[in-house]
Amino acid sequence: MNNFRRALLIFVPYSWLIFFFLIPFVIVLKISLSDYAISIPPYTPQLDLSAGWAGITDFFGNLDFENFSFLASDALYYTAYLSSLKIALISTFLTLLVGYPIAYGMAQAPDEWRPTLMMLVILPFWTSFLIRIYAWIGILSNEGFLNQFLLWTGLIDAPLTVLNTPSAVYIGIVYGYLPFMILPIYAALEKLDGSLIEAAEDLGCSKFSAFWLVTLPLSRPGIIAGCFLVFIPALGEFVIPSLLGGTSTLMIGKTLYEEFFNNRDWPVASAVAVVLLLILIIPIILFQKNEERQREANG
């Protein structure tokens, strides 16, 4: 009976991964090895089981890696990958700079205030992500709230061009993914033993030295988790660069969308998606390794 329960517990998550990750990935991989065709679906070859073994042999014989060779030969795609990596890294760093002080302030707040502060952090999730990003168009446009406020205060004489620039993309990503940075850091800081800080100060450390030598190292698991939770989705982000970045911002998510829906080149788009997934596997594996180390340390 115990073996059955153990097998059932393992079966459920593995079934989820098989049906919602492995099978879709195999389908996308198969399309990436196909050729473009003006048909429905817009790629060949198609598996014809009615032809028997000959149909299966012909199907696998017509698959090739030409789409991946095309990605390597076209500067647009690896430029998009590099641009996405740069934007994701910078956005993650900026999110950390904004999110850590907020999480630290929440952890230092009185106990009765912490649930309210937590609710304020997760409150944006109650509104559609798309609506929240659309709101930034009204804030960052030339006639938007930001420029109107700066003009009213006299800090600028002419409206700033923020919308449809990389700066707008950074603002959107930091805003959109800030809770994913705050929550794991707050979880790490909340469990921090305050007596360690008191001991450091009793031994002659200033408040800044105690923070630098005790608080920051002990909150590193939360920092690492938050950085991964921001970097991984930001790398393939599509909505924010499309709405706030305009044509001046090149990211692989936009390129992937254009190949699928504008060019209707599913094989090339699938190859782009496969390469993006392979790039994302690296931080995902690092994140899982970090989680395993933390579980072993806490266990």
Domain ranges of the chain: 70-298
Give the residue-averaged pLDDT of 180-199. Answer: 87
**Could you give phi then psi for residue 219, rounded to 5 degrees?**
-90, 5
- What average pLDDT does the structure give for the chain? 87
pLDDT at 173: 95
Measured CA to CA, the distance from residue 182 to residue 173 in angstroms comes to 14
Lowest mean pLDDT among 20-29, 116-125, 158-167, 284-293: 284-293
Give the residue-averaged pLDDT of 151-170. Answer: 89
- Radius of gyration (Cα) for the chain, nearest Å? 24
List own/partner pairs for 117-121 with CB under 8 A and 24 or more apart. Answer: 118/186, 121/179, 121/182, 121/183, 121/186
Residue 162 has pLDDT above 80, yes or no: yes
Give the residue-averaged pLDDT of 161-171. Answer: 91
> Residue 21's Cα: distance from chain center in Å?
17
Taking only the tens place, the pLDDT of each residue in 209-223 is 888 888 888 888 899
pLDDT band at 298 (very low <50, low <70, confident <90, very high): low
Nearest to 67 by CA among 77, 81, 55, 82: 77
pLDDT at 299: 60
pLDDT at 215: 85
Question: What CATH topology corresponds to 70-298?
Answer: MetI-like fold (1.10.3720)
Angle of helix 75-108 relative to helix 220-235, nearest 10 degrees, comes to 150
